[in-house]
Amino acid sequence: MEKKVTKIGVLTSGGDAPGMNAAIRAVVRTGIYYGIEVFGIMHGYSGMIENDIIPMHSRSVANIIQRGGTILKTARCKEFFEYEGRKKAYNNLKKLGINGLVIIGGDGSFRGAHKFSNEFDIPCIGIPGTIDKDIAGTDFTIGFDTAVNTAVEAIDKIRDTADAHDRLFIIEVMGRDAGYIALHSGIATGAEHILIPEHKTDIEELIDSLTEKERRKKLVNMVVVAEGDNFGGAEDVAKVVKERIPTADTRVCVLGHIQRGGSPSCLDRLIASRMGYSAVECLIEGKYNVMVGIVNNKMHYTPMERAVKAKQKITEEWLKVVKILAS
């Protein structure tokens, strides 16, 4: 790999997350501070292949830190899975003299970056941008705090109407492979049950618990379920509940993509800014092919391959907290 990085490309890939714009802003302005040219790559890896690459200046990232989504757009690119696609992307970068990349995304984005960097002489730095908080090597991922606060706000409002009508609400939040949004939002809103992919759902135990609560005249119950729960989403759970407890006034609410959007929280803006700054520092210092994260409020660097393969774990202690507080 080239020893000195003089031109950096930055892209956002995979699902969007609030705070990505703050990370882009930090990469651009830190690069400019150090005299490095920065290029924005549009639509993720597709932009590398299609040569949709634009020079970025300080004013290019003005007034974006408070905006959700990503000004660089994002996409999933099947062509990048193939060697020919990656070779085409590499040739486009070389024509512009780009010799360093910052990838803001999740584990799928890092898998692509790791493969690309191994095949060609361009170092990559990963910034964890995903609302799921499912990447090892960092206490926070960009977008999680905003997404979980959006879920909390919505669930609080649902509880008001549940209380007014003595209803059982089954609320589905995002989390195809990870239950962190369900876990955190469920605890924060006093949910009676939280169903997550990391813990096998015992539907009989859920039915018995809800039946017992109904017997005790506890008519307002909230069940928060991650979309990737092994038993299924909210609709699947509700179907069984309605069949087994027909007297319960059961309703379903799927929060969906509302969790992805919105102005990023203060925490997401701060960690995105720190990570963007540190990503450029890594390229300057020759610390290549790592993901920048934050552990115990300090910058932490995980080899890209390990960040791809490892996952955050939800401990049994969290599950015990849920059980005790919801009883």
The answer to whether 132 and 178 have CB atoms below 8 angstroms apart is: yes
Instruction: Say if strands 100-105 and 124-128 run parallel, antiparallel, or are unpaired.
Output: parallel
Q: What's the CA gap between 57 and 126, in Å, rounded?
A: 21
User: Treating both helix axes as pointing N-terminal to C-terminal, what angle do 180-188 and 144-165 enclose, rounded to 10 degrees?
Assistant: 50
Rounded CA-CA distance 131/260 in Å is 7
**Cα–Cα distance, 4 to 103 (Å, whole number):** 19
Nearest Cα neighbor of 149 from 16, 263, 23 is: 263
Distance CA 223, CA 12 (A): 34
Q: Tell me the sheet residues that pair with 101.
A: 9, 124
Name the residue among 2, 27, 21, 31 with its Cα closest to residue 63: 21
Which listed residue (16, 107, 132, 145) is catalytic? 132
Contact 265, 145 (CB under 8 A): yes
| Known catalytic membership, residue 16 | no
Report, as residue numbers or ranges, the catalytic residues: 132
